[in-house]
Structure 1
Amino acid sequence: MAQDWSHLASTSHYLTAVEIQHALEDGDLQAAREGIAALTEAMSRSDRRALRSQLIRLMAHIIQWETQPERRTRSWLVTIHGSRREIEDLCEDTPSLTRKVIEEELWARCLSAALREAEDEMGVRAKQRELSWQVVFETEYRLPLDGEQFDL
């Protein structure tokens, strides 16, 4: 019976790799090729989902940061910085996830989801309806450390 590679790859990357190994051991190169193609596609989808999730999380916290400056917390900073690191790691690990892909294929949908998430969390309409690449990835977000003074 032929292996349903797409289903297997969407269920478990590990089990797919094991089945590919079995196909190779059995000399079934065509099945192994199909398995590798399905696994590659599934892993790419998984990485895109992870990137979308982190981008929504990052954008939502920046929207909250801009809309409610009086409620800024260290937890928000940790989330902003952590999401940036996760996105950077995902892009390093998956070279096809470029700035162009993020801006052209993911940005609008993620921003829409982030606005909903932030507004649900805050209970008010977000002041900022658009976010630039610079605001999301380059602006430095900080709160004063103990004894440090600066304007927020």
Structure 2
Amino acid sequence: MASSSEPSIDWRDLAASSHYLTAVAVQHAMQCGDLAMAEAGIQELIDALSRSEKRALRSQLICLMAHIIKWQTQPERRSRSWVATIASARDEIIEIQAETPSLSRDVIESLWEFCFRRAIREAEAEMECSSAISTLSWQDVFEREYSLDS
């Protein structure tokens, strides 16, 4: 059992700064027999990893939506790079979901409006003009084919 003179660990701060150091601290707590401390550390590490994956999902969804907004707003500027970015973001989202099954379609739908607003802001800044796009459907984002041939 850990002695009362041992400093308390701020698991949230530690997990936010380093997953590795959090795992090492959990291991140390287990070796010292402080299972309650180890359990608290493991839970915070799980939560931190979940937040990290959710941030990655949001980032990819914003990137994907921004490129689709640009695609729809500036058809004359379409490029192979935009096609590749759209495909890459879709692939990344699929991989994130495969690695973290809890990040389901329902989670994506719960992030949709936030990501769409951010995507509009990013796309308009990159295009240096306003977009008339007011919404994107699931089909627009995940099912429609984007190619220079169509």
The answer, yes or no, to whether TM exceeds 0.5 is yes
1:133 paired residue among 129, 138, 148: 138
Indicate whether 1:13 and 2:19 are aligned: yes
Q: Report how many residues are paired.
A: 144
C-alpha offsets along residues 45-103 of structure 1, whole Å, 9 cap, x if unaligned? 11111111110000000000011111001111111001001111111111111101111
Mapping 1:20-39, distance limit 5 Å: 20-39=26-45
2:99 paired residue among 90, 93, 107: 93
Structure 1 residue runs of 4+, over 2 Å off?
none
Residues 55 and 83 in structure 1, CA contact (< 8 A), matched pair in contact too: yes
How far has the Cα of 1:127 moved from its partner? 2.8
1:41 paired residue among 40, 47, 51: 47
How far has the Cα of 1:110 moved from its partner? 0.3
2:123 aligned residue: 118
Gaps of 5+ in 1: 145-151
1:84 paired residue among 54, 76, 90: 90
Indicate whether 1:56 and 2:84 are aligned: no
Q: Secondary structure at the match of 2:81?
A: helix
Q: C-alpha distance in 2, partners of 1:61/1:4? A: 40
How far has the Cα of 1:129 moved from its partner? 1.4
Q: Secondary structure at the match of 1:101?
A: helix
Over the matched positions of the two proteins, sequence identity in percent amounts to 57
TM-score with structure 1 setting the length: 0.91
Q: C-alpha distance in 1, partners of 2:27/2:83? A: 44
Letter paired with 1:109: F
Gaps of 5+ in 2: 1-6
TM-score with structure 2 setting the length: 0.92
1:148 aligned residue: none
